[in-house]
Amino acid sequence: GSQVVDQKVDSVCPFCGVGCLLTYNVKDNHIVSVDGRDGPANHSRLCVKGRFGFDYIHNPQRLTVPLIRKASVPKDPDALNALNINASDWSQVFREATWVEALDLAAFQLKHVRDTHGKKALAGFGSAKGSNEEAYLFQKLVRTGFGSNNVDHCTRLCHASSVAGLLEGVGSGSVTNQVNDVEHSDFIFVIGSNPTSNHPVAATWMKNAAKRGAKIVVADPRGTDLGKHAWRTLHFKADTDVAMLNAMLHVIIEEGLVDEAFIRDRANNYDALKANVKNFSPEAMAPICGIDAHTLRDVARAYATAKSAMILWGMGVSQHVHGTDNVRCLIALSSITGQVGKPGSGLHPLRGQNNVQGASDAGLIPMMFPNYQRVINADAHAWFEKFWDTPLDDKPGYTVVEIMGKILADETDPHKIRGMYIMGENPAMSDPNLNHARHALASLEHLVVQDIFMTETAWLADVVLPATAWPEKTGTVSNTDRMVQLGLQAIDPPGDARADLWIIQQIAQRMGLSWHYAGEHHGVAEVYDEMRQAMHAAIGGITWERLQRESSVTYPCHSEDDPGEPTVFKHHFATDDGRVHLVPAGLISANEQPDAQYPFVLITGRQLEHWHTGSMTRRAAVLDAIEPTATASMCSADLQALGVQAGDVMTVASRRGQVSLRVRLDEGTPQGAVFIPFAYQEAAANLLTNPALDPFGKIPELKYCAVSVTAG
- Residues near ligand SF4, by CB under 6 A: 13, 15-16, 18-20, 42, 46-47, 49-50, 199-201
Residue facing ligand SF4 at closest CB distance: 50
Dihedral, CA of residue 146, residue 107, residue 505 and residue 382, to nearest 10: -10
Distance in Å, CB of 45 to ligand SF4, minimum: 7
Pairing of strands 232-234, 215-219: parallel
The least CB distance from residue 370 to ligand SF4, in Å, is 24
CB of 154 to ligand SF4, least distance (A): 16
E-only strand ranges, 128-200? 151-152, 187-191
Distance between CA atoms of 193 and 704, rounded to whole angstroms? 15
Relative to beta strand 483-487, strand 649-653 is unpaired
Residue whose CB is less far from ligand SF4, 111 or 159: 159
CA-based end-to-end distance of the chain: 46
Q: How many CB atoms lie within 10 A of CB 188?
A: 28
CB of residue 708 to ligand SF4, shortest distance in Å: 34
Nearer to ligand SF4, 69 or 159 (CB): 159
Comparing CA positions, the residue from 77, 74, 114 lying closest to residue 419 is 114
Judged by beta carbon, residue 341 or residue 677, the one nearer ligand SF4 is: 677
Of 16 and 692, CB closest to ligand SF4: 16
Instruction: Measure the CA dihedral 372/124/479/669, to 10°.
Output: 110
Shortest Å distance, C-beta 49 to ligand SF4:
4
Closest to ligand SF4 by CB, 36 vs 173, is 36
With a CB cutoff of 8 Å and minimum separation 6, the contacts of 259 are 336, 337, 338
> CB 15 → ligand SF4: shortest distance, Å?
3
| Amino acid at site 685 | A
Q: 3-state secondary structure string, 403-424?
A: HHHHHCCCCCCCCCCCEEEEEC
Least Å distance, CB 41 to ligand SF4, is: 8
Q: C-beta of 162: minimal distance to ligand SF4 in Å?
A: 19
Residue number with CB closer to ligand SF4 (236 or 313): 313
- Count CB neighbours of 438 within 10 A: 26
Q: By C-beta, is 128 or 511 nearer to ligand SF4?
A: 128
CB 19 within 8 A of CB 483: yes
Cis omega (within 30 of 0) on the bond before 556? yes
Residue 564 CB, nearest approach to ligand SF4 (Å):
19
Burial (Cβ within 10 Å: 0-12, 13-18, ≥19) of residue 550: middle
Closer by beta carbon to ligand SF4, 197 or else 468: 197
Nearer of residues 609 and 694 to ligand SF4, judged by Cβ: 609
Nearer to ligand SF4, 144 or 479 (CB): 479
Exposure b/e, 623-638, CB count within 10 A at least 16 = b? bbeebeebbbbbbeeb
Between the alpha carbon of residue 413 and those of residues 285, 384, 399, 404, the distances in Å are 46, 29, 17, 14
Nearer to ligand SF4, 190 or 653 (CB): 190
* Closer residue to ligand SF4 (CB): 178 or 308: 178
Q: What is d(CA 495, CA 103) in angstroms, rounded to the nearest whole number? A: 17
In this structure, what is the dihedral angle of CA atoms 534, 551, 9, 424, given to the nearest 10 degrees? -40
Closest distance to ligand SF4 from the beta carbon of 14 (Å) = 7
Choice between 196 and 276, CB closer to ligand SF4: 196
Question: At closest approach, how far in Å is the CB of 620 from ligand SF4?
Answer: 12
- Give every CB contact of residue 624 below 8 A, 6+ residues apart in sequence: 609, 617, 618
Distance separating alpha carbons of residues 53 and 38, to the nearest angstrom: 19
Inter-residue long-range contacts of 80-84, CB under 8 Å, 24+ positions, other chains counted = 80/459
* Smallest gap from residue 48 Cβ to ligand SF4 (A): 7
Strand order in the sheet with 30-36: 7-12, 21-27, 30-36
Q: What interhelical angle do 293-305 and 282-289 show, nearest 10?
A: 110
Least distance to ligand SF4, CB of residue 27, Å? 22
Q: How far is the CB of 140 from ligand SF4 (least distance, A)?
A: 28
Type of residue at 549: R
Instruction: In angstroms, give the least distance from the CB of 59 to ligand SF4.
Output: 18
Buried b or exposed e, range 645-670, using 16+ CB within 10 angstroms = eeeeebbbbbebbebebebbebebbb
Q: Answer for the pair 566, 342: CB distance below 8 angstroms, yes or no.
A: no
Instruction: Please state the closest distance from residue 54 (CB atom) to ligand SF4, in A.
Output: 10
Cβ atoms 37, 17 nearer than 8 A: no
**With respect to ligand SF4, which residue has the nearer C-beta, 322 or 606?**
606
Residue nearer to ligand SF4 on the CB measure, 16 or 263:
16
Residue number, 47 or 467, with CB nearest to ligand SF4: 47
Report the phi/psi class of residue 677: left, alpha or beta, with left for phi > 0 and alpha for psi in -120 to 50.
beta
